[in-house]
Structure 1
Amino acid sequence: MQKRIMFFLALCILLVACSPSADPSPTSSPTETPTPLATPIAEPTEIPTPAFSSNPYTDGMIARRNGDYARALAAFQLTLNSNPPQDPSTSSGQSLQQEAQYRLGEAYWLNNDDTRAIANLVAYVQAHPNGAHIPEARYLLADAYRAKKDYANALEQLRIYRGLSQTLIGDTDATMADVLVLAGDTPGALAQYDRALQDTTLSNGARINVLLRIADVHQGRGEPGLAAPRYDAALALATDARTRADLLKRAGDAYAAANKSELAIARWLDALKYPEHNAAYQSLVNLINRGATVDDFQRGVIDFYAGAMDAALAAFQRELKTDSSRAGEIHYWIARTHAGKGAYSSAIGAYDTIIKSFPKDKRVADAYLGKAAAYAAIGKIDDAVAVYKKFVAALPDDALADDALWRAAILLDRAKRYGEAADLYEDVQSKYPARERAPEALFWAGFSHYIGKDYKTASARWQTLTKEYPKSSFNARALFWLGKTAQTRGLATDAKNYWTQAAVLNAGYYSWRASELLKPTKPNPIYDLARYAMNNDAERAELEKWLVAWSKGDSKVAATLDAATRNDLNFRRGAELLRLDRTVEARREFATLIAEKQDDPRALYALALYFRDNNLFSLSLECAEKLARLATTAGAPPAPRALMTLRYPAYYADLVVAEAQKNQVDPLIYFALIRQESSFNPWVTSSADARGLGQIMPATGKGIAQALGVKNYTLDQLYLPFVSVRFGMWYFAQDLKTFQEPIYALAAYNAGAGRIKNWQRADLDLAVEEIDISETALYVRIVYANWKQYQALYVR
């Protein structure tokens, strides 16, 4: 799995390492002569020896990509044992033997076996001093020595690497400083960090990171007065609110520890400008504890965002007594605070005060919406709807008036009062026909009538939508349901006509569903791996010809990166980080590069191929998607298959197809699922802590491991493709067996199987519309559309 690189050592480790009270384990002094390079050890007998093809090296590289490092180790060792010829035959220009020897050491490092990684990387360095992988071998050796607490050798290897590669000078200097901290040489570390800052190519983010590490070393040394200016220096580079608030709070704390109270208070007061972030609340606490004067209104807002509702309410009430000039705003926050405490009756009273006593205040619209929401929260739907209607009557031209009607309609819809809901949806469109919600309101008005079996009126609303809003994203949806309604009414010809119109729009889920109803297909899973191959020279040539036809440039399109792109700093940094197996950091550099090239179709094409060939599949997909959007904007002809396979790729096919066959699942639906879950990025982590290709939650992963009898399972294994695909496929297959319907299985994968019984209907299309979790409803539609697109591309 992805090794934890020294560049991102946790700050807590740095603090402990440099603290005067810390008692680190005895280590080699970094000023001593490094110990001799280790002698390679014999290959361990516990390495498995599975069956391989006639090209075990290629098998090993595939296993490496899949995160199956035990298999990779066996493959590379087998390659070495076979004494391959010395003729250069790899992309690096090395002999296959040299390549396998390096990859063996790298695989041990990836597998966190630092002792064997050192032995095998040393063997490579000694046998091939001019080998193509010498720089990265030195770097990996440094990390392995660091993990073994052999800091002298770690520093020596980093020094050698620094002399071999000039791209990451500042990063390497900072990494050397990290090792010096671990070794207990904080003066040397501080000097090395400052040396890192001399690298003018460091991004602001990297520079902030280094400054924070310097500050933390000073803090650990009991030098807060020296730490504070470093936080200030980082602050000058920071642009996002969260980082600025955190740096201001840290700087204030450091100045306070250095007995520079005025500076401390000034920094904490500045942190209050970012009330939504926890650092603002911590700064507020510090200010109050020091008796500093803080505006009560500002104090209340910060307490509110920190969840300290009682303190917030008290602050707002104090402010109300002393400053009547913004009474409306204060009452608004009092109302929000009551609602935050669950005291909805008090919230309603506070909102009412704004509406009645301050009718011209800027918060009146928010007060109406808040009051209605409070009524809804305590189950008083009619009162809530009445407030929304009063808002529209009082302020018909307000920017939120249509939203008020929309919210009222939603409440009635959820209460299954479909006729009343339809009336309000219709009001949204009739009163505000030019606003963004108008076509969506018409759709749901029609749907409410459909649920009430008033098919004629439902059809009328959807016909209005298609005529008045032909470019709306709801157009295909309306046409699809016009077809369903016609079918229900026994008008087969009309149904076919509407579905045909929906299908030709090529507008995602509803176009695909229309096609399915026009010509039902029976899933026929294909487990022939050859059918999922993506590289085809003829198709690539067709793509390049298509690109020439509408993009600016020469009459020939290059499939390789041009000199300008290769010389771009972000590309050079990304490529070097990738070479060092620092994939997550490399992605950040490449993401910046993609943003720079987002309007250049030829560059995007070359980047898509480069990222694909270097296993950065999500970046390749992103480039392909951007290229497709540029083509649409330019009015280009339909994209050829080669671009479509870059947009809907079959990466990890060896894993997906095998696990799909084992679980009797269509591989294509799981490709569609991965595309939505992770965009084929195995290292992605969601805000909810879902991980890997299949975005499996930690608790779910643990349960799957137990069900499958996986021994020695750890949470981080979810980042390994061969684990993620196995777990995710099995999990999806269980839902597919339970519900016997792919759409329900997809909904269960996203929201949990326990919710499906509430959504199941005799009419599958009706079930999709009535999924009451918007994220899940959207997820089902996207993955289903992906699946159908995959079928169109790969079932030939």
Structure 2
Amino acid sequence: MTLLRRLLAIWLALGLVACGATPPSVTAISPSPSSPPTATYGPTPTLTITPSATPSPTPTPIARITTAERALFNGDYDQARAEYRAALNDSTDASLRAAALWGLGRVEFLDGNHLAALEALRQLISDYPDSHFAAYAHFLLGETYMAMKRYREAADAYAAYQRLRPGLIDGYAHERHGDAAFAAGDYDEALKAYRDALQSPRLGDDAQLKIKIAQTHAAIGDYANALTLYDEVAASTTNDFVKARVDYLAGQALLKLGQSEEAYQRYLHAVENYPLAYDTYLALIELVDADVPVDEFQRGLVDYFAGQYDVALAAFDRYLASTDEPDATVYYYRGLTLRALQRYDEAIASWDTLITTYPNNRYWSEAWAEKAYTQWAYQEY
């Protein structure tokens, strides 16, 4: 057996050698009976090499920036940051490096990394002051400082943007400059910036900007001009939220002037006419703190829309207890208030009172709808 194994091993080795050898040229000869058999060679095996994958070329800096812009648009800040950083590190071209820094500044700002945003934007402004992106970097620097409550530096950044890129978004840029200066306590600078914004082209009306100008007048103690502007805004707008705001701010100015009765009339006007506005809720607080009588139904409405459901319900109940002929609308809002307090059976009972007793009320159909929704959503009918 040992000999047989050795012979098999030798034959196997010879076979492997033969596979790798180049066969000799052989002429086929027909064997004669007396001749021994002649070996016939088959085709020589060839070695096949599996090709390896071709490595991808390293992306160019401009390709990385393109990829980063797409990632930034899609909200993938991690990929955008990595691509901008790689473009910055791999490029010596000034325009590409500036673009990469501008991208990094935006990514870090949007991702809430304000210190990192400052670093990128400052480097862009310092290293490439003539870049197309330098002016934009100043504006975003202002936004970053505002987010960090560094208002003086924000005002300076907005002013720098205006010097470099006038005539593009002047109305908005001047207004942001004014906001920063106002927050920094530099009211004269803020007033000038707001006035410049008012003189610049802008989309929409200028009610909010005029309110800011009026607030700045009030901040420096010029209440007369502030009140004039508040009245001008109130007369020119149809927006109830704006009207409520100027009522509240005018009341504040009148209190500063010692004209409390006139101030309370402004607050009452807001409560009676603009219950949905949060500024009306602030006016209501002033009235309650001053013990000024307020209609309980209106008080309940203002509290309800401000999300103050407990005090709203108490006001509605006081109103119902005070009269035998209530405005039936109170049952509709009382039901909404009870539902907000998760008192569903009581809410349905309030709407049922409106439905069965006051069929001509303007909220009759809405009461049905709210009842049905409450039963479906909260009571598993």
Fold shared per TM-score above 0.5: yes
1:344 Cα deviation (Å)?
Answer: 5.4
> 1:251 is aligned with what amino acid?
A
Task: Identify if the C-alpha distance between structure 1 residues 360 and 152 changes in structure 2 by more than 3 Å, giving closer, same or farther.
Answer: closer
Matched-pair contact (CA < 8 Å) for 2:181–2:187: yes
1:160 Cα deviation (Å)?
Answer: 1.9
* TM-superposition CA deviations, 1:383-420 (whole Å, max 9, x none): xxxxxxxxxxxxxxxxxxxxxxxxxxxx3xxxxxxxxx
* TM-superposition CA deviations, 1:30-69 (whole Å, max 9, x none): xxxxxxxxxxxxxxxxxxxxx9834222212322442322
1:100 Cα deviation (Å)?
Answer: 1.0
Does the alignment pair 1:58 with 2:63? yes
* TM-superposition CA deviations, 1:258-314 (whole Å, max 9, x none): 323344234323322232333333322323444445333323333343412442333
1:72 Cα deviation (Å)?
Answer: 0.3
Matched-pair contact (CA < 8 Å) for 1:296–1:319: no
> SS of the residue aligned with 2:202?
coil
- Count of residues in correspondence between the two structures: 304
Aligned partner of 1:188 in structure 2 is: 189
Matched-pair contact (CA < 8 Å) for 2:158–2:173: no
Matched-pair contact (CA < 8 Å) for 1:242–1:274: yes
Hey, what's the Cα distance between the residues in 2 that align with 1:156 and 1:165?
Answer: 10
Does the alignment pair 1:269 with 2:265? no
Does the alignment pair 1:100 with 2:63? no
Matched-pair contact (CA < 8 Å) for 1:170–1:195: yes
If the length of structure 1 is used for normalisation, what is the TM-score? 0.33
Task: Identify if the C-alpha distance between structure 1 residues 357 and 115 changes in structure 2 by more than 3 Å, giving closer, same or farther.
Answer: closer
Task: Identify if the C-alpha distance between structure 1 residues 289 and 60 changes in structure 2 by more than 3 Å, giving closer, same or farther.
Answer: same
> 1:279 is aligned with what amino acid?
D
Matched-pair contact (CA < 8 Å) for 2:87–2:97: no
Hey, what's the Cα distance between the residues in 1 that align with 2:348 and 2:162?
Answer: 67
1:190 Cα deviation (Å)?
Answer: 1.4
* TM-superposition CA deviations, 1:110-155 (whole Å, max 9, x none): 3334245323323322xxx4x6556435545666788786579636
1:236-255, aligned counterparts within 5 Å?
239-255=238-254
Task: Identify if the C-alpha distance between structure 1 residues 113 and 276 changes in structure 2 by more than 3 Å, giving closer, same or farther.
Answer: closer
Greater Cα radius of gyration, structure 1 or 2: 2
Hey, what's the Cα distance between the residues in 1 that align with 2:351 and 2:70?
Answer: 58
> 2:257 is aligned with what amino acid?
A
Aligned partner of 1:197 in structure 2 is: 198
Hey, what's the Cα distance between the residues in 2 that align with 1:313 and 1:374?
Answer: 20
> 2:62 is aligned with what amino acid?
Y
> 2:125 is aligned with what amino acid?
L
Hey, what's the Cα distance between the residues in 1 that align with 2:91 and 2:63?
Answer: 10
Hey, what's the Cα distance between the residues in 1 that align with 2:117 and 2:331?
Answer: 62
* TM-superposition CA deviations, 1:180-220 (whole Å, max 9, x none): 44665321221222122111x22336x34434444454555
Hey, what's the Cα distance between the residues in 2 that align with 1:195 and 1:250?
Answer: 23
Give the alignment partner of residue 105 of structure 2, picking from 88, 109, 122.
109
1:76-155, aligned counterparts within 5 Å?
76-80=88-92, 97-110=93-106, 111=108, 112-125=116-129, 129=130, 132-133=132-133, 135-136=135-136, 139=139, 150=153, 154=157
RMSD value, Cα: 4.1
> SS of the residue aligned with 1:204?
coil
> 1:271 is aligned with what amino acid?
A
Task: Identify if the C-alpha distance between structure 1 residues 336 and 368 changes in structure 2 by more than 3 Å, giving closer, same or farther.
Answer: same
Task: Identify if the C-alpha distance between structure 1 residues 317 and 109 changes in structure 2 by more than 3 Å, giving closer, same or farther.
Answer: same
Task: Identify if the C-alpha distance between structure 1 residues 274 and 153 changes in structure 2 by more than 3 Å, giving closer, same or farther.
Answer: closer
> SS of the residue aligned with 1:320?
coil
> 1:114 is aligned with what amino acid?
L
> 1:297 is aligned with what amino acid?
F
Task: Identify if the C-alpha distance between structure 1 residues 214 and 52 changes in structure 2 by more than 3 Å, giving closer, same or farther.
Answer: farther
Hey, what's the Cα distance between the residues in 1 that align with 2:355 and 2:155?
Answer: 71
Hey, what's the Cα distance between the residues in 2 that align with 1:254 and 1:165?
Answer: 35
If the length of structure 2 is used for normalisation, what is the TM-score? 0.62
Aligned partner of 1:258 in structure 2 is: 257
Aligned partner of 2:303 in structure 1 is: 303
Task: Identify if the C-alpha distance between structure 1 residues 311 and 249 changes in structure 2 by more than 3 Å, giving closer, same or farther.
Answer: farther
Matched-pair contact (CA < 8 Å) for 2:61–2:96: no
1:728-747, aligned counterparts within 5 Å?
none
Task: Identify if the C-alpha distance between structure 1 residues 212 and 70 changes in structure 2 by more than 3 Å, giving closer, same or farther.
Answer: farther
* TM-superposition CA deviations, 1:476-533 (whole Å, max 9, x none): xxxxxxxxxxxxxxxxxxxxxxxxxxxxxxxxxxxxxxxxxxxxxxxxxxxxxxxxxx
Does the alignment pair 1:75 with 2:87? yes
Matched-pair contact (CA < 8 Å) for 2:303–2:312: yes
1:233 Cα deviation (Å)?
Answer: 4.7
1:84-483, aligned counterparts within 5 Å?
97-110=93-106, 111=108, 112-125=116-129, 129=130, 132-133=132-133, 135-136=135-136, 139=139, 150=153, 154=157, 157-161=160-164, 164-181=165-182, 184-199=185-200, 201-204=201-204, 207-218=206-217, 220-221=219-220, 227-235=226-234, 239-272=238-271, 273-305=273-305, 306-307=308-309, 308-321=311-324, 324=325, 328-334=328-334, 337=337, 341=341, 350-351=350-351, 353-354=353-354, 357-358=357-358, 364-365=364-365, 411=381
Aligned partner of 2:42 in structure 1 is: none
Task: Identify if the C-alpha distance between structure 1 residues 176 and 250 changes in structure 2 by more than 3 Å, giving closer, same or farther.
Answer: same
Task: Identify if the C-alpha distance between structure 1 residues 75 and 224 changes in structure 2 by more than 3 Å, giving closer, same or farther.
Answer: same
Task: Identify if the C-alpha distance between structure 1 residues 165 and 329 changes in structure 2 by more than 3 Å, giving closer, same or farther.
Answer: closer
Hey, what's the Cα distance between the residues in 1 that align with 2:69 and 2:168?
Answer: 25
> 1:124 is aligned with what amino acid?
Y
Matched-pair contact (CA < 8 Å) for 2:244–2:279: yes
Matched-pair contact (CA < 8 Å) for 1:212–1:234: yes
Hey, what's the Cα distance between the residues in 1 that align with 2:183 and 2:333?
Answer: 49
Q: Sequence identity, in percent?
A: 23
Matched-pair contact (CA < 8 Å) for 1:312–1:337: no
* TM-superposition CA deviations, 1:574-611 (whole Å, max 9, x none): xxxxxxxxxxxxxxxxxxxxxxxxxxxxxxxxxxxxxx
Task: Identify if the C-alpha distance between structure 1 residues 180 and 281 changes in structure 2 by more than 3 Å, giving closer, same or farther.
Answer: closer
* TM-superposition CA deviations, 1:306-340 (whole Å, max 9, x none): 4124423334314533xx2x554445555555555
Higher relative contact order (CA 8 A, sep 6+): 1
